[in-house]
A and B are shown apart, each in its own frame.
Chain A
Amino acid sequence: MDYEIRIEGNLDPRWESWFDGMTLSAQAGETLISGPVSDQAALHGLLARLRDLGLPLLSVTRVAPEQSA
C-alpha cells in the first residue's frame, strides 16, 4: 500500500533515511512524505515518529500504487 502523509513544516531531504524508504518533497510550508508502507503497524510506527518530531500532522491518505505522486 502506498501512503501520502502531509505535515506542516519543511523537512530536509536528509530525513528520508529516517522514514525508511519514503520520499520527501517540500511544498510551500508543508512536506509530503510518500511511498510504500508494508502494513498498519508500519504506518503507525511512521506516524509515531512524526509525532515525536513535534510536526503537526495535516493528512494521511492511502493511494493506489499507480497514483502516487
Chain B
Amino acid sequence: MPVALVETKLFRPRPRAGLVPRPRLAALLDADGSRLTLVSAPAGFGKTTTVAAWLSAAAAADPARRIAWVSLDADDSRPEAFWTYVLTALDRVAPGTGSAALAMHGAGQPVEAVVATVLNELSVLPDDVTLVLDDYHAAEGPAIQAGLALLVERLPPQLRLVIITRADPALPLARLRARGELTEVRAGDLRFTGEETTAYLSEATGLELAAADVAALGARTEGWIASLQLAALSLRGREDASAFIAGFAGDDRYIVDYLVEEVLDQQPAEVRDFLVGTAILDRLTGSLCDAVTQSAGGARMLETLERRNLFVVPLDDRRRWYRYHHLFADVLRTHLVAEPPERVAGLHRRASEWYAAEGESALAVRHALAAGDVERAAELAELAMPALGRERREAVIRQWAQELPEEVVANRPVLAIGLVGGLMSSNDFGDVERRLVDIERQLALPEGELVVADPAELPRIPAALEMYRSALALNAGDPVTAIRRADLALEMAVDDDPLVRAAAPALSGLASWALGDVNAAHASYLVAIEGLHRADRIADVLGCSLALADMELTLGRLGDGRNTLERGLDLAERHRPDGGGVVRGTADMLVALSRCAWHRNDLGASAELLSRSEDLGEDAGLAQNPYRWRVALARLRAAAGDLATALELLDEAERVYVGDYSPPVHPVHATRARVLVASGDLDGAQKWASEHGLRADDQLSYLREYEHLTLARLLLAQETPAALEDARGLLDRLLRAAEDGDRAGSLIEILALQAAAGRDVAALDRALSLAEPDGWVRVFLGAGPALVPVLQRFVRERPDRAFARRVLEAATGTGTPSAAPARGQHQLVDPLSEREIDVLRLLASELDGPDIARHLVVSLNTVRTHTKHIYAKLGVNNRRAAVSRGHQLGVLSAGR
C-alpha cells in the first residue's frame, strides 16, 4: 500500500451523551429514494454531530448496518490518498468489495477503472452500505472531482453516499435534485429553532433561563450551534445570566471571538496556557501536549476538556487522540499571533522534536518548517529518506520537494538527490533534469561548503545521477541512451548501494527488452534480482522473477524458466509473514508455472497449479495476476476443446487487465485471435488483424513478434495460395529476426509453422531438435492440423526420434490423456442451483446489478439474494472471486 493509513480517519465519530434530539433532521435524513445525501453548511453548524447521531441511531436499530466513514483533510486532495481511504473504508465494512479496486489503485491504474471495479462489486452486493465523506471541502479539487462524479453517476442502489462539506461539491446537484435523488441538509435546516435552543441551553447550562433571555441568545447567535455552545459555556457557573446575555446581545463583535474570550477568561491559567499552546497541533495526544507545553498531565487535561465539552473531539475509541473543533482552534491561533513569535516557533519546534522521536518524519518536518527552522527541517528530511524509500512512502518525499525552500536544497546534495528520487517514484519528471544539473554543480563545490546529514549517502550520488538520467531516457523513448547510462551507473556504484545495484540493471533490462535484445535483458535482470534480494525487497524479487522467466521462455529455455519460478516460490515460502499469510506474488509464480506445464502439454499439472494459485486468495497475487490467471485458464479450456469458454475468459482478462513496466509482448487480444483461428472463426481473426493494422509485409519488430506469429497462423489456416505465399514470406523474415535476436523460443514456433506451411520436413526436424531438451510440445499443436501429415511422415522416416512420436500423439489426441481438470460441482458441499449458475454467468460479465436483473427479468433484490447464496456456497465475499471459483470448478464452461 503506497499510503500509510491513519486509522483515526476511518473512525466513525460517536455522538456525545446528552445531545438534544432533533427529530426533524433525522426525518430529513431518512428520506427515501435518494442516492446522494448532502450536508452542506459553513463551519460550526453541527454537521458531523448531526450525521453521527443519525447513523448511531440507525446502527442501534439495525446492528448489521454497514457504515463506512472517512474524515478527509487537505492531504486527501491527492487521488492516491483519497481513493485508498475510500476503498479501504468500504472494504472494511463490506469485506471483499474493495480488494480488487485497491490492488488496481496501488498498481497505478487510472481512477476510472478503479472506480468502475468497485462499483461492479457493489452493484451486486447483497447488503446495503452507507459511505460518509466528512469535510469533503478539504479534499475537493479537479484531481478528485472526476472520479467522484463517476461514482455518483453510477451509484448502485446498495450504496448510500453522504457528503459532509462546507462548500457545495462540483457534482451535478441540480440534476439529482430534479430527479428527487438528492437529500439536502443545509445551514437553514441545521440552525437551532427556538424550541431546540431552549432545550439545548437548558441541558448545557443547567440553568432555567428566562424566555426573553433565550430569545435574545437565539437572535444573536441565529441558531448557529457553535456560538450557542460557546454561550452556554460562558453561562455556566455565572450568577447573573441575564446581565451577561444582555451585554453579549448588545455587542457586535465577531461572535466566536467574543465568546471564546469569555470562555478562556473563565478558565484557570493552566487550562488557558494549555489551550493556546496546543492550538498549533492538528491532532493531540497526552505526551505530545506535554512536550509542546513543557508540562505534565496532558492526557488528563484532554479528558477533562472533553468532559467539560471544551471543544475537543475524540478521534478514536480509546481516548488517545483528539483534535480541536475548527473554529475554536482558529480563534486560539489568533491568540497565538499576539504572542511573541519566538514563543510560537518554540511550540512548533517542540512538536517537531516529538514527532521526530516518534519516527513521524512528515509531521516533524512540517512543524520544523512552521517554526522557521528550515535547516533543521532539511536535516530531518535528509535523515528520514532511506526509511521512507524502504516503506514505499515516496509521496511524502515528493511533497517535501515542493515545501522545502530552494536555498536549503542548494547546498545539500544528499537531500537534493533524495528529493529527485521521490519525484521519480511518483512519475513526476518535469523538474528533475534541472535538479540533477544543480546537484552536479554542488558536487563541484569544495566540501566545506556542503551540508550533509547522512555522509554515507554522499559517495553514492554520482551513480544515482546516472541512474536517474537513465530512467529519464527510458521514459523519453530512448532505450539506447537508457542502457548506456544504466550500465555506467552500475559501474560507478560504490559499496553495496542497494538502490543503484537493483534499479540500474532493471532499467537497462527494460530498455534492452524494448529493443528486442532478450539476452542482454536477461543478463541485466539477473543482476537486478540479486540487488533486490540483498535489499530485502522480496515482492520486487518475485515480480522481476516473473519477467525473467518470461524472457527465458522467449529464449527457448523452458527448464530454466521453471527453475526461476520454483526459486521464486521457495523464496516466498521462506519469507511468509507471521500470522499465516503469503507473500504477494506467490500466486503469480504458480500461474507462470502452470503456463510452463501447459507448454509441455502436461495439462493435469497445469490445471492443478492454477487451482493452487486460486486457492491462495486475492492477497497472494500482484495486481496483474487476475488477468494472467484468466489467460492461463483460457489456454486450458482451449486445450480441452472448450473454445467458447476460452474466449469468454479472454474477454474477462482484457477487462481486468493491469499492465506493469515490462513491454506488453503477449497482448491478450492476440491470444484471443489464436483461439479464434483454432476454432475456425477465420473471419473473426481477420477482423482482429485489420483492427490492429497487422499485415504480412509489415516491418518487423520484436515487440510485435507474437502478433505477427498469430497472423502467420491465420494465413496458414486460410489455405489459399495467396495466403500461403504471404505466410511463407512473413515466416522467412520472422525466422531471420528471431535468429538475429537469439530467440530460440520464437524459433521453435516459426519453424513449426514453416513446416506446416511448406510441408517442410527439414524445418520440422530443426524445430524438434530445439524443442526436445526442454519438452516444448504445445507449440507444435499451435501450428494447426496442417502439421500432422508432416509429423506423420517424419515419424515414419525417423523412428528413432521418440520425441517426434510424442508430439504426433499429442497432436492427434492419441497419447495417454493427462488427467483432465476436475470439473463439476461435486467439490462443493452445497452445489449451486441452475438459477444461481445463470446469475454467476452474468456476474462474469460487465453488467451491473440492475442490468443483470433486467436480463433475468427479476427484481434487483432477487439478484442480490442469489448473489448472497452464491458467495456463501463458493466461500467467497466478492464478485470477482466468485467468478474465478466458478471457472475453477468448471461451472461456467460451455453450453451457453
Contacts and interface: CB of A to CB of B under 8 A. Distances in A.
B334 A18 contact: yes
A15 B334 contact: yes
Interface in A4-22: 9-12, 14-15, 17-18
Given A10-B254, A12-B257, A29-B252, A54 B224 contact: yes
A64 interface: no
A32 to B, nearest CB: 14
B178 interface: no
A53 B330 contact: yes
A8 B335 CA distance: 21
Interface in B299-342: 326-327, 330, 333-335, 337-338
Which of B226, B253, B254, B257 is most buried by chain A, counting CB atoms within 10 A of its CB?
A: B254
A9 B254 contact: yes
A52 interface: yes
A52 B254 contact: no
Given A17-B334, A18-B337, A52 B43 contact: yes
Contact of B252 (A9, A17, A51): A9
Contacts of A18: 330, 333-334, 337
Interface residues of B, number: 22
Contacts of B43: 51-54
A55 interface: yes
A4 B45 CA distance: 27
Given A54-B43, A54-B224, A10 B326 contact: no
B256 A53 contact: yes
B652 to A, nearest CB: 46
Interface string B518-555: 00000000000000000000000000000000000000
A31 B43 CA distance: 19
B630 interface: no
B328 to A, nearest CB: 12
Contacts of B166: 51-52
B817 interface: no
Given A51-B42, A52-B326, A53-B330, A14 B254 contact: no
Interface string B33-70: 00000000011110000000000000000000000000
Which of B44, B252, B338 is most buried by chain A, counting CB atoms within 10 A of its CB?
A: B252
Interface residues of A, number: 15
B327 A53 contact: yes
Nearest to B42: A54
A34 B395 CA distance: 38
B424 interface: no
A50 to B, nearest CB: 10
A9 B334 contact: no
A11 B253 CA distance: 6
B334 A54 contact: no
Nearest to B226: A54
A10 to B, nearest CB: 5
Nearest to A49: B330
Contacts of B257: 11-12, 15
Contacts of A15: 254, 257, 334
B338 A14 contact: yes
Interface string A25-37: 0000101000000
A50 B256 CA distance: 13
A14 B260 CA distance: 14
Contacts of A10: 252-254
Contacts of B144: none
Contacts of A17: 334, 337
A55 B454 CA distance: 49
Contacts of A31: 254
Interface in B693-743: none
B761 interface: no
B253 A12 contact: yes
B891 interface: no
A17 B296 CA distance: 31
B499 interface: no
B372 to A, nearest CB: 15
Interface in A44-69: 51-55
A12 B254 contact: yes
Contacts of B254: 9-12, 15, 31, 53, 55
Contacts of A54: 42-45, 224, 226, 256, 327
B451 interface: no
Contacts of A52: 42-43, 166, 326-327, 330
B3 interface: no
Contacts of B44: 54
Contacts of B334: 14-15, 17-18
A31 B257 CA distance: 14
Nearest to B45: A54
A15 B260 CA distance: 14
Contacts of A51: 42-43, 166-167
A17 B330 CA distance: 12
A15 B253 CA distance: 12
A55 B257 CA distance: 12
B255 interface: yes
Interface string B249-288: 0001111110000000000000000000000000000000
A14 B337 contact: yes
Nearest to B257: A12
Interface string B858-894: 0000000000000000000000000000000000000
Contacts of A14: 334-335, 337-338
Interface in B641-686: none
Contacts of A53: 43, 254, 256, 327, 330
A53 B337 CA distance: 16
A29 B253 CA distance: 8
Which of A12, A18, A29, A53 is most buried by chain B, counting CB atoms within 10 A of its CB?
A: A53
Interface string B159-174: 0000000110000000
A15 B335 CA distance: 9
A52 B326 CA distance: 8
B338 to A, nearest CB: 6
Contacts of B45: 54
Contacts of B224: 54
Contacts of B167: 51
Given A51-B43, A53-B327, 8 more contacts: A9-B253, A12-B257, A15-B334, A18-B330, A52-B330, A54-B42, A54-B43, A54-B256
Interface of A: 9-12, 14-15, 17-18, 29, 31, 51-55
Interface of B: 42-45, 166-167, 224, 226, 252-257, 326-327, 330, 333-335, 337-338
29 contacts: A9-B252, A9-B253, A10-B252, A10-B254, A11-B254, A11-B257, A14-B334, A14-B335, A14-B337, A15-B254, A15-B334, A18-B334, A18-B337, A51-B43, A51-B166, A51-B167, A52-B42, A52-B43, A52-B166, A52-B327, A53-B43, A53-B256, A53-B327, A53-B330, A54-B42, A54-B44, A54-B45, A54-B224, A54-B256
Closest 4 CB pairs of A and B: A17-B337, A54-B42, A10-B253, A11-B254
